[in-house]
């Protein structure tokens, strides 16, 4: 089986490593516009299965030509969401299955029945017997499968509440996720599901949540712009009254202060006769996500430590009993992630290992659906396969059930 990975960033590094270890994957072609990023990955990944080629992800014609000549079984989109359209168009043209980890827009044309843009063409993909698994990372991705696991056990679902929390200790300024994407999510008004889609202010919904080990202890989380409430409300398979997504980290109060000061505004301000948008300057000054070699050096020097966790709480009723299902991830911290895959962080490991597992399921014919769909459509058999493969990669999914009095 042959796989095309588009994007030689933190996610492409991990996905290519996991797929290269699979005996039934014969060739991986990693493409990017940057020769430097591709070289950084090949110098840390010794697999002879891995090849590289320079390609512009916005060039639909070039992508189509590459896919047709390469005869790939799957294209994995590990680049920015602005390229989703061009990559999906090329996949449909050549009839190659597709996977991505994030969406390029909500409610296309104002249609609340199509929560994310990528779902627009699901009908014609289904007619072509093509599979487009979208939002297939960690969050979104892993948490969607977790939510479905609990929701399917319940007769009625009242709420699904998702938390993403990370603790990072660094001696140097650092951003472990693509800076522009992360900051845009911070300042975009989040959408929750409350018997209908509703927009809430950024950094609202402050909550102190008691995280289980290995995080352990109470920490503040806030509403955050993410895709889960959008698709879970439509694809979980049964009615849900309320869904939200919240994020937290010790530094989030600092990000909130920066937001409150207007440093993330798009509206230009005049400084000494020149006009510039605060956002443009601020985003330009942020450091790039560390390369694989830089990450290895930071870890080996002890200058960087990090641990993240995803938690999902599902409330509802089963046989006239009020129930609470709490699920959470338990994966390697940054040091252990970088030991398992040189250059990985705990965050890129969680996101991209999940994407690699979803990819292997598609390649092996273990995903039954056709069309374009998010992972919460998985049935019990598909979820079982997914959880077992994640465990093999060092990411455990814990579940605790409570009967509420």
Question: Residue 316 falls within a domain, yes or no?
Answer: yes
Q: Tokens at residue 125, please?
A: 């993909």
Question: Residue 379 falls within a domain, yes or no?
Answer: no
Q: Exposure of 392 by Cβ count < 10 A (0-12 exposed, 13-18 middle, 19+ buried)?
A: exposed
Length of the chain, in residues:
405
Sign of the CA dihedral 20, 22, 28, 34? negative
Backbone φ and ψ for 88, nearest 5 degrees, come out as -65, -35
Backbone φ and ψ for 142, nearest 5 degrees, come out as -55, -45
| Structure confidence at residue 261 (pLDDT) | 86
Question: Residue 355 falls within a domain, yes or no?
Answer: no
CA dihedral (85, 192, 239, 102) in degrees, to 10, reads: 30
Residues 94 and 159 placed together within one structural domain of the fold = no
- How many angstroms separate the CA atoms of 10 and 32, rounded? 12
- For 112-123, b/e burial (b = at least 16 CB within 10 A) is eebbbbbbbbbe
Residues 208 and 328 placed together within one structural domain of the fold = yes
- How many angstroms separate the CA atoms of 146 and 310, rounded? 10
Q: Exposure of 56 by Cβ count < 10 A (0-12 exposed, 13-18 middle, 19+ buried)?
A: middle
Neighbours of 5 (CB within 10 A): 30
User: Which is nearest to 221 in space by CA: 276, 278, 162?
Assistant: 162
- How many angstroms separate the CA atoms of 375 and 387, rounded? 12
Beta strands 191-194 and 197-199 are: antiparallel
Q: Tokens at residue 143, please?
A: 């948490």
Sign of the CA dihedral 179, 184, 186, 187? positive
Residues 37 and 160 placed together within one structural domain of the fold = no
| Structure confidence at residue 287 (pLDDT) | 79
| Structure confidence at residue 91 (pLDDT) | 98
- How many angstroms separate the CA atoms of 194 and 237, rounded? 17
- For 330-360, b/e burial (b = at least 16 CB within 10 A) is bbbbbbebbebbbbbbbbbbbbbbbbbbbbb
The percent helix, strand, coil of the chain (3-state, each to 5) is 40, 30, 35
Residues 35 and 163 placed together within one structural domain of the fold = no
- Domain with 24, as residue range(s), is 2-100
Q: Exposure of 161 by Cβ count < 10 A (0-12 exposed, 13-18 middle, 19+ buried)?
A: buried
Residues 89 and 149 placed together within one structural domain of the fold = no
Residues 44 and 150 placed together within one structural domain of the fold = no
Residues 178 and 295 placed together within one structural domain of the fold = yes
Sign of the CA dihedral 218, 223, 228, 231? positive
Number of domains the chain is built from = 2
Residues 96 and 149 placed together within one structural domain of the fold = no
Residues 38 and 172 placed together within one structural domain of the fold = no
| Structure confidence at residue 172 (pLDDT) | 76
Question: Residue 115 falls within a domain, yes or no?
Answer: no
Q: Is 17 helix (H, G, I), strand (E, B) or coil?
A: helix
pLDDT tens sequence for the chain (405 residues):
999 999 999 999 999 999 999 999 999 999 999 999 999 999 999 999 999 999 999 999 999 999 999 999 999 999 999 999 999 999 999 999 999 999 988 998 888 889 999 999 999 999 999 999 999 999 999 999 999 999 999 999 999 999 999 998 888 777 777 676 777 788 899 999 999 999 999 999 999 999 999 999 999 999 999 999 999 999 999 999 999 999 998 877 888 888 888 888 888 888 888 888 888 888 788 878 888 899 999 999 999 999 999 999 999 999 999 999 999 999 999 999 999 999 999 999 999 999 999 999 999 999 999 999 999 999 999 999 999 999 999 999 999 999 987
> Omega before 84 cis (within 30°)?
no
CATH number at residue 303: 3.30.360.10
Q: Tokens at residue 357, please?
A: 């597992």
Q: Tokens at residue 331, please?
A: 């994966």
Question: Residue 228 falls within a domain, yes or no?
Answer: yes
- How many angstroms separate the CA atoms of 9 and 289, rounded? 9
CA dihedral (82, 163, 250, 299) in degrees, to 10, reads: -70
Residues 93 and 148 placed together within one structural domain of the fold = no
Question: Residue 20 falls within a domain, yes or no?
Answer: yes
- Domain final position from 72, 100, 128: 100
Neighbours of 165 (CB within 10 A): 22
Q: Tokens at residue 261, please?
A: 């000061």
Residues 187 and 323 placed together within one structural domain of the fold = yes
Residues 270 and 185 placed together within one structural domain of the fold = yes
Q: Exposure of 365 by Cβ count < 10 A (0-12 exposed, 13-18 middle, 19+ buried)?
A: exposed
Neighbours of 203 (CB within 10 A): 19
Tell how far CA 328 is from the center of its chain: 16
Specify the pTM: 0.95
- Domain final position from 41, 67, 100: 100
| Structure confidence at residue 347 (pLDDT) | 94
Question: Residue 388 falls within a domain, yes or no?
Answer: no
Q: Tokens at residue 385, please?
A: 């396969």
């Amino acid at each position: 089986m042959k796989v095309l990975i588009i994007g030689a960033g933190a996610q492409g590094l991990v996905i290519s490593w996991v797929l290269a270890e699979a005996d039934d994957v014969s060739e991986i072609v990693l493409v990017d516009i940057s020769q430097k990023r591709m070289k950084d990955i090949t110098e840390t990944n010794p697999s002879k299965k891995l090849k590289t080629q320079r390609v512009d992800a916005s060039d639909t014609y070039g992508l189509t030509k590459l896919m047709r000549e390469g005869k790939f079984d799957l294209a994995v989109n590990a680049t920015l969401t602005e390229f989703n359209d061009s990559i999906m168009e090329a996949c449909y043209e050549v009839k190659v299955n597709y996977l991505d980890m994030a969406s390029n827009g909500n409610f296309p044309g104002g249609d609340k029945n199509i929560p994310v843009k990528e779902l627009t063409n699901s009908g014609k993909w289904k007619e072509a017997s093509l599979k487009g698994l979208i939002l297939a990372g960690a969050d979104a991705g892993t948490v969607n499968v977790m939510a479905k696991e609990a929701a399917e056990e319940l007769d009625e679902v009242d709420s699904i509440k998702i938390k993403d929390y990370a603790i990072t200790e660094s001696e140097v300024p650092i951003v472990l996720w693509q800076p522009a994407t992360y900051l845009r999510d911070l300042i975009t008004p989040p959408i929750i599901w409350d018997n209908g889609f509703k927009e809430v202010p950024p950094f609202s919904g402050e909550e102190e949540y008691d995280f289980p080990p290995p995080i352990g202890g109470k920490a503040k989380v806030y509403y955050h712009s993410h895709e889960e409430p959008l698709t879970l409300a439509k694809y979980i398979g049964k009615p849900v009254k309320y869904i939200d997504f919240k994020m937290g980290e010790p530094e989030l109060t600092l990000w909130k202060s920066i937001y409150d000061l207007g440093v993330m505004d798009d509206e230009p301000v005049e400084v000494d006769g020149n006009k510039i948008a605060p956002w443009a300057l601020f985003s330009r000054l942020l450091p790039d996500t560390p390369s694989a070699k830089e990450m290895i050096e930071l870890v080996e020097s002890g200058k960087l430590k990090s641990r993240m966790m995803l938690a999902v709480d599902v409330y509802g009723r089963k046989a006239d009993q009020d129930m609470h299902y709490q699920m959470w991830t338990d994966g390697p911290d940054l040091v252990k992630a970088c030991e398992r895959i040189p250059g990985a962080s705990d965050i890129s490991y969680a996101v991209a290992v999940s994407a690699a597992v979803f990819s292997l399921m598609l390649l092996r014919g273990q995903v039954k659906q056709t069309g374009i769909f998010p992972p919460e459509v998985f049935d019990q058999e598909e979820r079982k396969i997914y959880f077992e493969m994640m465990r093999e990669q060092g990411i455990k999914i814990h579940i605790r059930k409570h009967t509420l009095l």
